[in-house]
Amino acid sequence: MIPNDKGLYKGLTEAKSRGEKRLAILFDPDKMRLKKMEQTLDLALSCGVDYFFIGGSLVVNDMLDDLLIQIRQRCPVPLILFPGNSFQLSYRADGILFLSLISGRNPELLIGQHVISAPFLKMSPLEIISTGYILIDGGVQTAVQYMSNTYPIPANKDDIAVCTALAGELLGLRMIYLDAGSGATMPVSESMIEAVSGAVSVPLIVGGGIRTPEKAAANLRAGADLIVVGNAIEKDPSLIREISAAVKDFQPA
Ligand code: 1GP
């Protein structure tokens, strides 16, 4: 049973079983500028973006609630928290990725922050989706690497990513997120996505450094069920059109 089930996870698993793909746009509360945000929301609505993920490795302003209110007023797309730590929680979202950083060996991010946030989440109306978060080397040191104080899995070690994802699934985590980190110069490789998606049956999220519709499509062909794009859309919101078209047009190879 999914805590506070609002159909978000069910929607993802049903889409996966039909071979359909999904797109999430990541909003970092620190980086969002109002004008670009309005443009992004209008485009996301007209292009049928499936989810907004909200979060960042380091949120230094107190705009999380305001951001959620502003998005909600303008756009009905589901809001899913993607928190970098247990301060980034709000009842104003629809759901939360309850992330365990299973590629790392930092107990705080494997279980510590979860213990702190569990009572808040238990009382909250948020749909809670436990997610095995796997950080892959993205070619530059990303904020998440530094802030999490963990080593990413080397980009060419598909077998380590597979074993990590398998362990996450066997521990009962309901999704796996392969992330090269926001702003990665080297996104997760198709070969790693293919290997991981062949090994687990839970939905597979892939993000970090996706900048083109071609890479989005290649990730979907390799087995990603949901792709996440942040930086590239922050820089050029009009990219939503091409990337969402690539997701909607996806046909299994
Ligand atoms: C980061 O996967 C997300 O956690 C998105 O990455 O900002 O590089 O698109 P980008």
233 Cα to the center of ligand 1, angstroms: 10
Domain that holds residue 19: 8-248
Structure tokens at 53: 């993920």
Testing ligand 1's pocket by substitution, the residue of 30, 145, 179 carrying the most ligand atoms inside 8 A of its CB is: 179
> Does the residue 59 lie in any domain?
yes
167 Cα to the center of ligand 1, angstroms: 24
> Residue 82 in 3-state DSSP?
coil
> Does the residue 43 lie in any domain?
yes
> Residue 233 in 3-state DSSP?
helix
Q: Of all atoms in ligand 1, which is nearest to the CA of residue 209?
A: 8
Q: Of all atoms in ligand 1, which is nearest to the CA of residue 210?
A: 9
> Does the residue 109 lie in any domain?
yes
Q: Which residues, 6+ apart, have CB-to-CB distance to 107 below 8 Å?
A: none
> Does the residue 1 lie in any domain?
no
123 Cα to the center of ligand 1, angstroms: 29
Closest C-alpha residue for ligand 1 atom 2: 207
Residue with tokens 């909250």: 124
231 Cα to the center of ligand 1, angstroms: 6
Testing ligand 1's pocket by substitution, the residue of 26, 52, 239 carrying the most ligand atoms inside 8 A of its CB is: 26
What letter would DSSP give residue 136?
A: B
196 Cα to the center of ligand 1, angstroms: 19
> Does the residue 253 lie in any domain?
no
- Tens of pLDDT, residues 16-56: 999 999 999 999 887 767 678 889 999 999 999 999 999 87
Q: Which residues, 6+ apart, have CB-to-CB distance to 165 below 8 Å?
A: 132, 134, 176, 178, 196, 199, 200, 204
Q: Of all atoms in ligand 1, which is nearest to the CA of residue 208?
A: 6
245 Cα to the center of ligand 1, angstroms: 19
Q: Which residues, 6+ apart, have CB-to-CB distance to 108 below 8 Å?
A: none
Q: How many separate domains does the chain show?
A: 1
Structure tokens at 43: 């485009």
Closest C-alpha residue for ligand 1 atom 1: 182
Q: Of all atoms in ligand 1, which is nearest to the CA of residue 231?
A: 7
Q: What is the pLDDT of residue 59?
A: 67
Give me the CATH number covering residue 194. 3.20.20.390
Q: What is the pLDDT of residue 84?
A: 83
Do 215 and 227 contact (CB within 8 A), yes or no?
no
142 Cα to the center of ligand 1, angstroms: 10
Q: Which of 96, 149, 103 is nearest to 121 (CA)?
A: 96
pLDDT tens across the length of the chain (253 residues): 888 999 999 999 999 999 999 999 999 887 767 678 889 999 999 999 999 999 877 666 678 888 899 999 999 999 999 998 777 899 999 999 999 999 999 999 999 999 999 999 999 999 999 999 999 999 999 889 899 999 999 999 999 999 999 999 999 999 999 999 999 999 999 999 999 999 999 999 999 999 999 999 999 999 999 999 999 999 999 999 999 999 999 877 6
> Does the residue 49 lie in any domain?
yes
> Does the residue 68 lie in any domain?
yes
Residues flanking ligand 1, CB < 6 Å: 26, 179, 182-184, 207-210, 228-232
Q: Which of 169, 159, 165 is nearest to 178 (CA)?
A: 165
Do 104 and 148 contact (CB within 8 A), yes or no?
yes
State if pTM tops 0.95. yes
